[in-house]
Amino acid sequence: MARQAAHDRPRTEKDASGKKRRRQTPADEKADSREEVIENGTAVANTIAGSPAVKAANNSGNITPRRTRSTITPKEDTKPTGVRATADGVPPVVPEPSAGLEPPHLKVDAPLTTADRGPPVVPEPSPALEPPDLKVDAPSTNQSCGSTAQCAFDITNLRTIVISLDRRPDRMQECADRLRQHCHGLNFERFDASDGKRDEISDTSCTRSWHTAKNVVYQKKRSMRKGWDDLASYAERSLQHSPGERGCSMSHIRAWRLCLENASVAVEAACASGASEDQRRRAAEQPLLVLEDDAAPTPEFVDRLQRAMEALPQDADVLYLGYSQAADWRREVTSELVESEYVWTTVGYIVWPAGARKLLSALPVDQPVDNFMATLNAEGDLKAYCVRPKIIRQSDAWNVNSDVGHSDEQYWGPSSDILHSDAFYWGSDIAQSQFISGSDTASTAPSSSTISQSQTIW
């Protein structure tokens, strides 16, 4: 009997138990083999890899098993997919995952090596930016006034008084003429001087006597600085203040008080007008120019004062515009401004409220008022500067036509070479200025017959 065609052969067969089962075809065997490869993740492409010939070759090491196109190894907890073969008997190709492709939100770049990065790039430093609320501006310096306290000085705003006695309108008029000639823009007013013979002056404001010891120190310094040969003539003595000296001291005490009153009024006005804190501070620091009625400003007064005020350090209590220098200058601030140690005369100076407080706190005035101020400065209790050269001079030589009798004018006794007298004001009352201690006696004043009537006060 001819062999039946493959498709005519019985499709079932009995197994060992006698049960019928479907006969496997070669195609079924191949498909099962490929399914097993895919499901178990083996690297064998088909069942022939297990044939005796292939096994023999593998054992001899002549044939290296070939890697299939699908080498995905399932995880341990992954169940078999049961992928069936396609119609042509070839299992579907499962592509290998592309290396380095991750979801954008999960992708993590591997760190670059030095070779990958190349040399490090150091960015140029950018200006540091501070938060607006934390930024601290560096203090700026006004180019016109540097580190000084007197920025934008305006002479028209400088409060000025001229100390003058009621009974000497001639002196006041002459002084006013000089100020109008050389101090353009300066507004001044007459300040009634205290009269040492008429007004009552308390001992708490001004003592009745004084000792020359402190002043003698600087008389000797001036002598050495000028090369004079008179050191032996300077002796320490106790002297009685003349009425004129006490009146002069009281006039300046009142001027210092006026300086504080003006500052207080200015602050009140600034607060009432809603001024800024800086404006209120400037109001509290308004200075006062104090002049005596023999003040004679120089033609350069305005320009030199402007430059001195712009260069004046912030610690200034007093600025002398006229003076008589005793000791060397402590330092030179500019060519036209110096810090003083000890100077005489009060013919013209600017005082600030801070300085006025220091002067008033040191009362009583225990020596002529210019010595009193100079001593405080020399001892470090006051800070004084001078305009150099002086821009205010005295209209006459020392004590000529003066309303103030100086207790030390007859310091050297009858042999004194001082050529000026204070009798123009006090007449025979010069005898009040006499020595309290020592063997010296006071000299008498010149005869009234030698005094011109035009120079007589009374």
Could you tell me which residue, 95 or 273, shows the higher pLDDT? 273
70 lies in a domain? no
What pLDDT does residue 26 have?
A: 54
Q: Which residues contact 292 (CB under 8 A, 6 or more apart)?
A: 162, 163, 164, 346, 347, 348
- Is 188 inside a domain boundary? yes
Question: Mean pLDDT throughout 169-180?
Answer: 97
Rounded Cα distance between 352 and 216, Å, is 28
Q: What is the pLDDT of residue 232?
A: 87
Q: What is the pLDDT of residues 100-141, one digit of tens each?
A: 544 545 444 555 554 555 555 555 555 444 444 433 333 333
Stated as kind and residue range, the H or E segment containing 171 is helix 169-182
Res. 237: pLDDT tops 70: yes
Q: What is the pLDDT of residue 402?
A: 55
pLDDT digits (tens, 9 = 90+) for 19-69: 555 555 555 555 555 544 444 444 444 444 555 554 555 555 544 444 444
Summarize pLDDT for 311-347 with one digit per residue, the tens.
Answer: 999 999 999 999 999 999 999 999 999 999 999 999 9
**239 closest CA partner among 221, 218, 222, 215:** 215
- Is 0.75 surpassed by the pTM of this model? no
Does residue 389 fall inside a structural domain? Answer: yes
User: Is the N-terminal amide bond of 131 cis, ω within 30° of 0?
Assistant: no
145 against 92, higher pLDDT: 92
Q: Quick check: 200 pLDDT over 70?
A: yes
| Domain carrying residue 313 | 155-404
Q: Does residue 182 belong to any structural domain of this protein? A: yes
CATH code: domain of residue 297:
3.90.550
**205 domain residue, yes or no:** yes
CA 208 to CA 243: how far, in whole Å?
9
Q: Bigger pLDDT: 147 or 88? A: 88
Question: What average pLDDT is seen over the chain?
Answer: 73
Q: Has residue 301 been placed in a domain?
A: yes
**Within-domain flag for 338:** yes
393 forms beta bridges with 296
268 compared with 77, residue with greater pLDDT: 268
Give how many domains the chain has, as a whole number: 1
Calculate what percentage of the chain has a pLDDT beyond 90. Answer: 50
Residue 413 pLDDT class (50, 70, 90 cuts): low
Residue 191 in any domain: the answer is yes
CA 337 – CA 322 distance, rounded (Å): 13
Under the banding of pLDDT at 50, 70 and 90, the label for residue 396 is confident
